[in-house]
Amino acid sequence: MKTLITGGAGFIGSHVAEAFLAAGHDVAVVDNLRSGSADHVPRGVRFYVADVGGPEFSAILAKEQPYLVSHHAAQVSVPASVRDPQLDARINLLGLLGTLQGCVEHDVGRFVFASSGGAIYGEADRRPTTEDTPPLPLSPYGIHKLAGEHYLEFYRREHGLRSVALRYGNVYGPRQDPHGEAGVIAIFAERLLRGERPAIFAYPDQPAGMTRDYVYVEDVARANLRALQSGAEGPLNISGGSPVHTGDLFDLVRAAYGSDLAARPGPARPGDVRESWLDITRASDVLGWRPEVPLAEGIARTVRDLRSRRR
């Protein structure tokens, strides 16, 4: 089946491209290399360096005629969205709208949107948080992901575009950028490899750090495949299904690396959610999907990848 992945030169998108290729799909990637790298795009994929949503993107859709579009192109930093909400809106909302419009004009059959559980729910009063919990996004990034999901509904009602929003937890694994503001496992591992003490950002009343719900990137790629096969519609939480304090996470990364360096405390950043824990029952029921890679194993693979890339 013909599949087009936006943001496929990025961390998650490149794993999604790999999973679709391995499952026998004909895969194309569109990415403007804002944060991605051409080296991440798997061999055997047609690669277009272009912006999503613009006229060039429409021409690519006309040429490729994909059945499925999996939308992973985005600005992914919550603090960057707080500093510059308009930039976030241009990439994450207008970029999505242009992509959806192109999909309608070129008869795309199905659309997968990389959404965000933690950023959409904010400080949810129910944990683990189910998909029907009222959203309370704290950052422009979360606001635009939520608005994006409303637009999926609009395009489904108005134009019949079938879609699913995969609300990811904290995704981690090989190829994650250790120099950005997101991706704490890659950041911890990179700092330890350099012999530096990483900071654990924490609120004063939560000294062990915030809690996050981590999911290995290959499990996320598999969820994208299942989303296509199942024909599921609407939002689905995709995560590890258990909360982990950042302090405990650091201990796991340190154990995988074999380091005895201690972390240093740092202040929570604007927009940081205190607790995140997603209920994955619906994904399990609807997609027949569950995460398979345990956290310690996933961290060990991530550390191995970073080590080999540094050599």
Ligand X SMILES: NC(=O)c1ccc[n+]([C@@H]2O[C@H](COP(=O)([O-])OP(=O)(O)OC[C@H]3O[C@@H](n4cnc5c(N)ncnc54)[C@H](O)[C@@H]3O)[C@@H](O)[C@H]2O)c1
Q: Whole-angstrom Cα distance, residue 205 to residue 209?
A: 9
Q: Which is nearer to ligand X, 87 or 262 (CB)?
A: 87
Q: Which of residues 19-38 bind ligand X (CB under 6 A)?
A: 30-36
Out of 76, 80, 120, 236, which residue is the one contacting ligand X (CB under 6 A)? 76
Q: Which is nearer to ligand X, 3 or 116 (CB)?
A: 116
Q: Which is nearer to ligand X, 168 or 277 (CB)?
A: 168
Q: Which residues are catalytic?
A: 141
Cα 187–Cα 22–Cα 288 angle in degrees, nearest 5: 80
Exposure pattern of 91-130 as b/e (b: 16+ CB <10 Å)?
bbbebbbbbbbbbeebebebbbbbbbbbbbbbebeebbbb
CB of 213: closest distance to ligand X in angstroms?
Answer: 10
Q: Tell me if 186 sits within 8 A of 306, measured CB to CB.
A: yes
Number of shown-chain residues binding ligand X (CB under 6 A): 28
Interface mask toward ligand X for 79-98; x: CB under 6 A: ------------x---x---
Interface mask toward ligand X for 118-157; x: CB under 6 A: ----------------------------------------
Q: Whole-angstrom Cα distance, residue 245 to residue 206?
A: 9
60 interacts with ligand X by CB under 6 A: no
Q: Which is nearer to ligand X, 157 or 179 (CB)?
A: 179
Q: Which is nearer to ligand X, 171 or 256 (CB)?
A: 171
51 interacts with ligand X by CB under 6 A: yes
Q: Tell me, what DSSP letter sits at residue 23?
A: T
Containing 252, the helix (H) or strand (E) segment is: helix 246-257
CB of 75: closest distance to ligand X in angstroms?
Answer: 6
Q: Whole-angstrom Cα distance, residue 80 to residue 298?
A: 27
Q: Whole-angstrom Cα distance, residue 21 to residue 28?
A: 10
Q: Tell me, what DSSP letter sits at residue 177?
A: -
Q: Whole-angstrom Cα distance, residue 72 to residue 291?
A: 20
Q: Tell me, what DSSP letter sits at residue 90?
A: I
72 interacts with ligand X by CB under 6 A: yes
CB of 230: closest distance to ligand X in angstroms?
Answer: 20
Residues near ligand X, by CB under 6 A:
6-7, 9-13, 30-36, 51-52, 72-74, 76, 91, 95, 114, 116, 168, 170-171, 182
